[in-house]
Homo-oligomer: A and B are copies of this chain.
């Protein structure tokens, strides 16, 4: 042990991932190439290209390491954020990420609603079913965390892909409306 090594925090306990049963899932971590590791987001992923990866999804803007750490620890102390990533340990880069978060409800016997957000696979790693793996993982986690339902919003062209993973557009009640305050 080197006491001077910086402490690495996981956003959530990686034990949660170990307990998931993928037997009914379309893929599993056992099928990952040996250089790829599925794990929670870590506090040192700023240096593994996590924000570069998100910039393949949408606008990220300027986030220095302090701001990253502050947001990471807000999410961690909040306790409802389960950002899950795949790292290529050969290159030390985060190459796939998706967020599960859980929302407290009073309805449904004071239940939790799960939400999937910010799903991205590095363009150089597409076609390897990493998207399937991360969504199956978040589905199993949401169920394990006792969510009564799990939702996401998506573009038209992704509906078919998510439908194959078990999501449905419930007729007459699958609309997402938006007000944008800033770009």
Binding site for B on A (CB under 8 A): 50-51, 54, 57-63, 67-68, 70-71, 74-75, 78-81, 101, 103-111, 115, 117-118, 139, 142-143, 147-157, 159, 162-163, 166-170, 172-183
Contacts and interface: CB of A to CB of B under 8 A. Distances in A.
B106 A150 contact: no
Given A81-B104, A107-B118, A109-B63, A177 B153 contact: yes
A148 B182 contact: yes
Copies of this chain assembled into the complex: 2
Contacts of A81: 104
Q: Is the interface of A mostly helix, strand, loop or mixed?
A: mixed
B75 A104 contact: yes
B177 A174 contact: yes
Contacts of A111: 182
11 contacts: A61-B107, A63-B110, A67-B110, A68-B106, A71-B106, A71-B110, A101-B103, A154-B177, A168-B179, A169-B178, A174-B176
Contacts of A57: 107
Contact of A181 (B109, B147, B176): B147
